[in-house]
Structure 1
Amino acid sequence: MRTALTIAGSDSSGGAGIQADIKTMMANGVFAMSAITALTAQNTTGVSAIMDATPEFLEAELDEVFTDIFPDAVKIGMVSESSLIESIAKKLHQYKPKHIVVDPVMVATSGAKLISDDAVATLKKELLPVAEVITPNIPESEVLSGMKIESEQDMETAASAIVKKYGCAVLCKGGHSLNDSNDLLVSADGSKKHWFYGRRIDNPNTHGTGCTLSSAIASNLAKGYDLETSIARAKDYISGALAAMLDLGHGHGPMNHAFDQHGKFMESNIDD
Structure 2
Amino acid sequence: MSLLEAILIGIIQGATEFLPISSDGHLVLLPAIFNISQPDLVLIGLVHAGTLLAILSYFWRDLWAIARAVLGGLARREPFADANARLGYLMILGSVPAGIVGLLALDFFERQFGSPTVAAVGLLITAVFLVVGERLNRGAKTLDRLTVLDTLIIGSFQVLALFPGISRSGSTIAAGLGRGLDRPTAARFSFLVGLPAIAGAGLLSILDIFSAQGSLPATHYLAAFVAAAIVGYLCIAFLLNWVKRHTLYPFAVYCALFGLLYLLFTVL
TM tier relative to shorter chain: under 0.3
Structure number, greater radius of gyration: 2
If each structure's strand is expressed as a fraction of its own residues, which one has the higher value?
1
TM (norm. structure 1) is 0.27
Bigger relative CO (Cα 8 Å, ≥ 6 apart): 2
